[in-house]
Structure 1
Amino acid sequence: MDSTKSSVSAASVITDFKEITKMGLSISVVFSALAGYLLGVETISFTTLTLLALGGYFMVGASNAYNQIIERDLDALMDRTKNRPIPAGRMSVNTAFVIATSFTILGLITLYIINPKTAMWGAISIFLYTSVYTPLKTKTPLAVFVGALPGAIPFMLGWVAARNDFGIEPGTLFAIQFFWQFPHFWAIGWFLHDDYKKGGFFMLPTGKPDKGTAVQIILYSAWTVIVSVIPVFGFTGDLKLSIVGAILVFGLGMLMLVYAFKLFKLRTTKAAKQLMLSSVFYITMLQIIYVADKFLR
């Protein structure tokens, strides 16, 4: 009986750890960073790849843990978040703080081993996410703009890890992921609008899921596609994209735009969910196409 209890509690501890660090989201962020590294590197170092994956996970995990500590009272009000470890009472604030602090230190050390610039950008992302974005979420829809800054760092961070330099190339990668986040998060804000309202979060640009928000989603989706094909024109330094790669990325962008227009037309939660999924598909495939295009060229 005791062994059953201990195995159940061990399983729940692992589940809570995964939830406090948002493992799924963290892994997708690490994927972006690794893609950026592969784009920037001349000779792949598996040591650096491993350090970047670990450091990236620590940094995102720390940001998510801090976020859940700060928002614990609001999380308890929303169906989406009320079963998170802290509001559900399965994890103390102190335990979460120890995890967040440990992850911050481990993340900074790991990224610093790669190079100091990578650690600096990692530190900036944690600071912006925790100290600026999180408090603003209950104050203004501009929080999404602020949140898009740390959210755009991982893709760029990979390039900085590869080159120990910040220039037009990582700047372009930053811009792609920056613009992409608006249709992505506004789609989430749309289908979770009622739940977010319970926690007092203002995620949509007009404050509600209306035509004005849908128009802005279309505009930012278009900007995302435009920025994503810029490397084909050859003025983004070492970041290059072949015509075939640009056509594939443009085609993906058109697919996302179709769903953005669909949301404008229907204005339903189902259409918002479809746009969200298409935006995830877009950024994932874009990164795969960029990397494949570099190595197959």
Structure 2
Amino acid sequence: MSKQATFSVKHSLVSDFKEITKMRLSLSVVFSSMAGYLLGAEIVDFSILILLAFGGYFMVGASNIFNQIIEKDLDSLMDRTKNRPIPAGRISVTNAFAMGCVFTVFGIGILYFINQQTAMFAAISIFLYTCVYTPLKTKTPLSVFVGAIPGAIPFMLGWVAATNNFGIEAGTLFAIQFFWQFPHFWAIGWFLFDDYKKGGFFMLPTGKQDRGTAKQVIMYSIWTLLVSIVPAFGFTGRLQLSIVASVIVFLLGLGMLYYAIQLYKKMTVLSARHLMLVSVIYITLLQIIYVVDKFIR
């Protein structure tokens, strides 16, 4: 085999691995869990942080692999997903299932080594995403509410990994990421509406790109903004936020709310894309601000 052919095969394998585990999404989840750990840890143990990163990636990777196995026929109908490794035939269902099982064992096993509660929440996340959220996506728009539960676990998972405790602090981190997911995923559901429709997915709360959906996007953006500054009022145990940090987070929230209102006013695919991008920036900066604020207070 020529060097060029060998490179092509390796490149294909790497690309397929990235796609079947949804690497960008998985890395964002790892980032969230590591932020949660840094918030919860009294003394940062880098060995635990590394275990959390690998365990978190395996956990999310497993969920994504099982999701793509279940949806392989529907994925083949949509432009965005028809070239994924399973519907395109580059990875067989059998091989993908084996990979998913290995990822599950590795993910839960690594997180169990940190503590039992972390492993338990990881297992719950995989179960809900694969066995409840995925089947519901073609049945009801309420699937987004179910999917928001495993989607909100990573931020608080890091806190549990650091403290071996699920209390008001972890619950607050969960709530922040839970409410944030609605404007984020409804924005995605809006600008991918036609493609989702080909696969039989109706992700928007009203099932349509209408004012009702846009109003709910605004409502959940407001809830996200409010929940995100709760730690500034001293109600959340060890999870605290300084006045300066809370003002910055509040202003970021107003920025996301502005784009949610723009979606309501314009009702366009472009405004939905803008909201999606801003929502990603918002949650990333929020987690960075929370962590930085803890260590400079």
| Aligned equivalent of 2:52 | 52
Paired letter, 1:8: S
| Cα distance in 2 between the residues matched to 1:228 and 1:269 | 27
How far off its partner does 1:14 sit? 1.1
| Aligned equivalent of 1:26 | 26
| Aligned equivalent of 2:111 | 111
| Aligned equivalent of 2:82 | 82
What are the within-5 Å matches in structure 2 for residues 220-259 of structure 1? Answer: 220-259=220-259
| Aligned equivalent of 1:217 | 217
| Cα distance in 1 between the residues matched to 2:13 and 2:285 | 34
| Aligned equivalent of 2:290 | 290
Paired letter, 1:244: V
Give SS of 1:50's match.
helix
Paired letter, 1:220: Y
Once superposed, what is the RMSD of the aligned Cα atoms? 0.6
Give SS of 2:229's match.
helix
Paired letter, 1:293: D
| Cα distance in 1 between the residues matched to 2:39 and 2:2 | 51
| Aligned equivalent of 1:122 | 122
- Percent of aligned pairs with the same amino acid: 70
How far off its partner does 1:6 sit? 2.1
Query: What TM-score does the superposition give when structure 1 sets the normalisation length?
Result: 0.99
| Cα distance in 1 between the residues matched to 2:36 and 2:4 | 44
| Aligned equivalent of 1:132 | 132
| Cα distance in 1 between the residues matched to 2:17 and 2:32 | 22
Paired letter, 1:242: S
| Cα distance in 2 between the residues matched to 1:256 and 1:179 | 13
What are the within-5 Å matches in structure 2 for residues 118-267 of structure 1? Answer: 118-267=118-267
Q: Which consecutive unaligned segments of at least 5 residues does structure 1 have? A: none
Give SS of 1:283's match.
helix
Structure 1 segments, 4+ long, off by >6 Å, are none
| Cα distance in 1 between the residues matched to 2:250 and 2:25 | 25
Q: Which consecutive unaligned segments of at least 5 residues does structure 2 have? A: none
Query: What TM-score does the superposition give when structure 2 sets the normalisation length?
Result: 0.99
Number of paired residues? Answer: 297
Q: Deviations over 1:266-293 (max 9, x none)?
A: 0000000000000000000000000000
